[in-house]
Amino acid sequence: MEKKIKRTMGIWEVRYMFESSIIIFLIIGALATTTVYYVNDSNEQETSVDVISHTPHNVNNKDVYDSLDGCDLFRGKWVHDNDSYPLYMEHQCPYIPGEFSCEEYGRTDLKYQQWRWQPHACNLPRFDAKRVLEKLRGKRVMFVGDSVNRNQWLSMVCMLQSVIPLGLKKMHKVANASLFTFKAFEYDVSIDFYWAPLLVESNADHPSKHKRSDRVINIQSIEKHAKNWLNADILVFNSYLWWGTPTLKILHGSFADSKRYNIISNHDGYKMVLEKWSNWFTTHIDHKRTQSYFMSMTATHQRGVDWGMQGTENCLNETEPVMKEDFWESGSDLKMMRILESSLDNLKSRGVNVQLVNITQLTQYRKDGHPSIHRLFYSTLKAKQLSNPKGYADCTHWCLPGVPDTWNELLLAYIIQRLN
């Protein structure tokens, strides 16, 4: 039997204890993603499993995904569509950890699961798990990044796993690496997640032991993580939330010699790390084999004033998306986005295509999509916290099923077009 994954791998501690809303605003991303504590109860090694042979179904070369060519998938609107959504039921996906199981943790308004993203210029094909698995046959997809990327990875697993019978799938942590892997044996498909919130080596690399406010990175050291990315056919990166502190320390040497460092702004740090990542990426990845993607930043609905609420309201109790076209919440750092875009442009001029999956605007609207207080909290909430639920509401992550399912539909639109 598949074990419920929350018991075996994902334990979060989120402590929203700050009195000052300004501090919360500055470091909300860091807080919300601060501690991922993996209980590694399974000392599982990566096991080799005989792949059950299977003759591919007829796969037409011409595909509905081809019709999306040239369409801007990221300009559009949310349409309520309870016929097509949700793509799966929360209780039917055994891999959703407590951080994202909003229904289990008491959320009763379920409309947030029923929205379809409608691009202005085209229609997304209806998601079909079997067809996607058939397209991905023999491939390894790897998500690399922070807890929002983990959120998306688990969404992808849930979208695909429902059509795979028990015994033909497995989820486990790979020993001695920040790597988790979901395998669909019949299709020889792996859907993996690698924890590297700042891409290069940092004091946030350990899933549980790191400081919350003090960010230290070793910019010279990307190999530590990157050597684990080499065998993927499809790489999906993100890195945004952990850059939320205004400054960070850049070490001159290794962590063993942590006395020598510079303090630089988060924007400069992000630029330097993306440059390091780009250089590594250009020389180490086989771009004929590997498709690469970067997910853009996602909204964190901390400030209700952005959508007309009073005082310190946030995403708590929000049950409907914002419908105002081009709505933009004040917590999203557009400068970070421009830095990412220019890094990807530079890569392109060197002949390396990393596709930006521009989900920023579509997340802006979805103030209703966050767990808020309907999630597992790993430290016991004190009476004072309980008396002010918005103080500990999680407005950073996303309920599953929910908004990340759409990110994956958009991602798959690119992946499948390129596999055709």
Ligand X SMILES: *[C@@H]1O[C@H](CO)[C@@H](O)[C@H](O)[C@H]1NC(C)=O
Q: Which residues are catalytic?
A: 147, 394, 397
User: Any idea how long the chain is?
Assistant: 420
Pairwise CA distance, residues 117 & 362, whole Å: 8
> In angstroms, what is the minimal distance from the CB of 317 to ligand X?
4
3-state secondary structure of 132: helix
Q: Please report, as a single letter, which amino acid is at residue 99.
A: E
Question: Is-contact 298 363, C-beta < 8 A?
Answer: yes
Which residues are near ligand X by CB under 6 A? 45, 74, 80, 82, 175-176, 317, 341, 356, 358, 360-361
> In angstroms, what is the minimal distance from the CB of 396 to ligand X?
19
Place of tokens 């909204």: 299
If the CB atoms of residues 239 and 358 are measured against ligand X, the closer one turns out to be 358
Structure tokens at 49: 């499993």
Question: Is-contact 243 149, C-beta < 8 A?
Answer: no
Closest C-alpha to 105, from 407, 400, 405, 402: 400
3-state secondary structure of 2: coil
Pairwise CA distance, residues 1 & 3, whole Å: 6
> In angstroms, what is the minimal distance from the CB of 251 to ligand X?
23
If the CB atoms of residues 64 and 122 are measured against ligand X, the closer one turns out to be 122
> In angstroms, what is the minimal distance from the CB of 174 to ligand X?
9
Structure tokens at 25: 């605003």
If the CB atoms of residues 103 and 186 are measured against ligand X, the closer one turns out to be 103
Closest C-alpha to 145, from 54, 47, 235: 235
Closest C-alpha to 318, from 383, 389, 379, 376: 389
> In angstroms, what is the minimal distance from the CB of 54 to ligand X?
30
If the CB atoms of residues 161 and 360 are measured against ligand X, the closer one turns out to be 360
3-state secondary structure of 372: strand
If the CB atoms of residues 80 and 289 are measured against ligand X, the closer one turns out to be 80
